[in-house]
Chains A and B, each alone.
Chain A
Amino acid sequence: MAARCRATTSTAMPAKSRWEKVVAVVLALLLWQLGAMALNSPILLVSPLRVLVRLSELVRQSSFYAAIGFSLARIVTGFLFGLIGGSLLAAAASRWHPVEVLLWPYITVIKTTPVASFIILCLIWLDSSNLSVFIAFLMVLPIVYANVLEGIRQTDQKLLEMARLFRVGFGRRLRYIYLPQLRPYLTTACSIALGLSWKAGIAAEVIGIPDGSIGEMLYEAKVYLSSPDLFAWTVVIIAVSILFEKLFLLLLKAGYSRLEQG
């Protein structure tokens, strides 16, 4: 019994410290560098140093920032539409059961259909320059919908009873009961949806090839077999995606702090 207890305790993994993360990243880069040196074929695997050099060349070009701006604006727009749309639909579904039932097939199809199918289908309907807006929206919508709906369902019924007894209006119930209780659900939904909107949005751009987008840069890197460009743009996508996620979650946290301060 004692041995079992010890075994249970030892399975609890401590959180990664900043130093541990730095060491892990440095080792991964080192392994990548050694792999690239061993293969000795920049087309198959470019070295991290070469990627760094290419990145330093790219940041000196105005088209670099234009491409980031193009993709960022569209993916963020799609994300925000998905966030607002998913929240409103979840609110409606929690209030009226038939809405939830009628939405169920759409949400299930969106969740299960491969993103590539949607991209190709949407290319028929939409101008390729706005494709990433719609694809990011589609990826975000079901995640936000499911999380917000669950959050509304988990709202403390006793607090709602209290508000009803004191005849508190919907606006104040939303601000003081629903929004605070939705916080963990919204944070989780946004955290997942932000990363996914970038992945799907860029995939849409690579297939739709709108002029001046990050997707177009990736497509050209593939056509010209330019691994340094491919890796450099991938690093940019990861960096912008992480930065936007951190910024958005920070804004969400600040918004909630302001809400609680009244």
Chain B
Amino acid sequence: MEELLVRGLCKRFEDKVVLQDFTARFPAGETTCIMGRSGCGKTTLLNILMGFLAPDAGEVRGRPARLSAVFQEDRLLEGFSARANIAFVSPQLPAEQIDRHLAAVGLAQDAGQPVRELSGGMRRRVAIVRAVLAGGDLLLLDEPFKGLDETTRASVASYLRAETPGRTVVMVTHDPDEVALMGGQLLEMEPTGAGDTT
């Protein structure tokens, strides 16, 4: 995968400017953490990278055809098991492989449980495993550790680092501890969503 580049991105919702001339480089095969306070446009940026939102101005270059993501919300299929949620996006994977990954994030006993019966932190881990196993050259993480306690957060970060070598990872967060856990390049966003790391 070539490097991901965003240049001069602008996005406004009615009168509110969310992104103002935002430019950044995301080196191929590396992790980039975007840090900024709530409301500074981090999720809007990820939605543009995912292709869900079109910018008012600017461009995105080098976006791969296959990408995966952990969304701001878990976006899980409520009535289905953790295993089925992962198989939904990765039907080619054997159940044993899915179970092994779920066990790696502490969900060995919960693979067959409907996700609506799982706690917020458990659901978050299912969403993370789903994104990791879906493959793709680019992995976008929107506050992936939301709802996880400190110990679980460290073990899930270690799982993420171990399972994504060679993939371009872009994580947004407002927590410096999470940046420290994931490592990689740090990019700080201004409150207006302006930034320049090139």
Instruction: Check: B108 CB closer than 8 A to any chain A CB.
Output: no
Q: How far is the CB of A87 from chain B (nearest CB, A)?
A: 20
Classify the secondary structure of A's interface with B: helix
Instruction: Check: A122 CB closer than 8 A to any chain B CB.
Output: no
Instruction: Check: B132 CB closer than 8 A to any chain A CB.
Output: no
Complex contact B91–A158 (CB within 8 A): no
Chain A neighbourhood of B67, CB < 8 A:
165
Complex contact B77–A166 (CB within 8 A): no
Complex contact B68–A165 (CB within 8 A): yes
Q: Of all chain A residues, which has the CB nearest B134?
A: A166
Complex contact A176–B80 (CB within 8 A): yes
Complex contact A176–B114 (CB within 8 A): no
Complex contact A180–B77 (CB within 8 A): yes
Complex contact B88–A176 (CB within 8 A): yes
Chain A neighbourhood of B51, CB < 8 A:
165
Instruction: Check: A260 CB closer than 8 A to any chain B CB.
Output: yes
Q: How far is the CB of A182 from chain B (nearest CB, A)?
A: 12
**Range class of the A interface residue count:** 10 to 19
Q: Of all chain A residues, which has the CB nearest B83?
A: A262
Instruction: Check: B89 CB closer than 8 A to any chain A CB.
Output: yes
Instruction: Check: B13 CB closer than 8 A to any chain A CB.
Output: no
Q: Of all chain A residues, which has the CB nearest B51?
A: A165
Docked Cα-Cα span, A158 to B68, in Å, equals 15
Docked Cα-Cα span, A163 to B50, in Å, equals 12
Q: How far is the CB of A260 from chain B (nearest CB, A)?
A: 4
Instruction: Check: A172 CB closer than 8 A to any chain B CB.
Output: yes
Instruction: Check: B26 CB closer than 8 A to any chain A CB.
Output: no
Complex contact A180–B79 (CB within 8 A): yes
Docked Cα-Cα span, A42 to B139, in Å, equals 80
Chain A neighbourhood of B88, CB < 8 A:
163, 166, 168, 172, 176
Docked Cα-Cα span, A165 to B50, in Å, equals 7
Instruction: Check: B169 CB closer than 8 A to any chain A CB.
Output: no
Complex contact A158–B89 (CB within 8 A): no
0 or 1 for each of A157-186: is its CB under 8 Å from B? (1 = yes): 011011101111000100011001000000
**Range class of the B interface residue count:** 20 to 34
0 or 1 for each of B56-81: is its CB under 8 Å from A? (1 = yes): 00000000001111010101011111
Chain A neighbourhood of B79, CB < 8 A:
180, 260
Q: How far is the CB of B44 from chain A (nearest CB, A)?
A: 14
Classify the secondary structure of B's interface with A: loop
Chain A neighbourhood of B80, CB < 8 A:
176, 180, 260, 262
- Say yes or no: A162-B71 contact (C-beta < 8 A), given A168-B88, A260-B79: yes
B-facing residues in A127-167 (Cβ within 8 Å): 158-159, 161-163, 165-167
Q: How far is the CB of B87 from chain A (nearest CB, A)?
A: 8
Which of A161, A165, A177 has its CB near the most chain B CB atoms (within 10 A)? A165
Q: How far is the CB of B52 from chain A (nearest CB, A)?
A: 6
- Say yes or no: A177-B77 contact (C-beta < 8 A), given A161-B52, A167-B66: yes
- Say yes or no: A166-B73 contact (C-beta < 8 A), given A172-B91, A260-B80, A260-B114: no
Complex contact B134–A262 (CB within 8 A): no
B75 touches which one: A162, A176, A260 (CB < 8 A)?
Answer: A162
Chain A neighbourhood of B87, CB < 8 A:
262
Q: Of all chain A residues, which has the CB nearest B68?
A: A166
Complex contact B75–A262 (CB within 8 A): no
Instruction: Check: B84 CB closer than 8 A to any chain A CB.
Output: yes
Q: Of all chain B residues, which has the CB nearest A260?
A: B79
Q: How far is the CB of A177 from chain B (nearest CB, A)?
A: 7
Q: Of all chain A residues, which has the CB nearest B140?
A: A165
Q: How far is the CB of B46 from chain A (nearest CB, A)?
A: 11
A-facing residues in B135-174 (Cβ within 8 Å): none
Complex contact B84–A168 (CB within 8 A): no
Docked Cα-Cα span, A176 to B78, in Å, equals 10
Interface residues, chain A, with chain B CB atoms under 8 Å away:
158-159, 161-163, 165-168, 172, 176-177, 180, 260, 262
Instruction: Add 7 more A-B contacts to A162-B71, A180-B79 (CB < 8 A).
Output: A159-B77, A172-B91, A176-B88, A180-B77, A180-B78, A260-B80, A262-B80
Interface residues, chain B, with chain A CB atoms under 8 Å away:
50-52, 66-69, 71, 73, 75, 77-81, 84, 87-89, 91, 114, 134
Give 8 nearest A-B pairs by CB, closest first: A166-B89, A162-B75, A260-B79, A262-B84, A176-B88, A176-B77, A180-B79, A166-B134
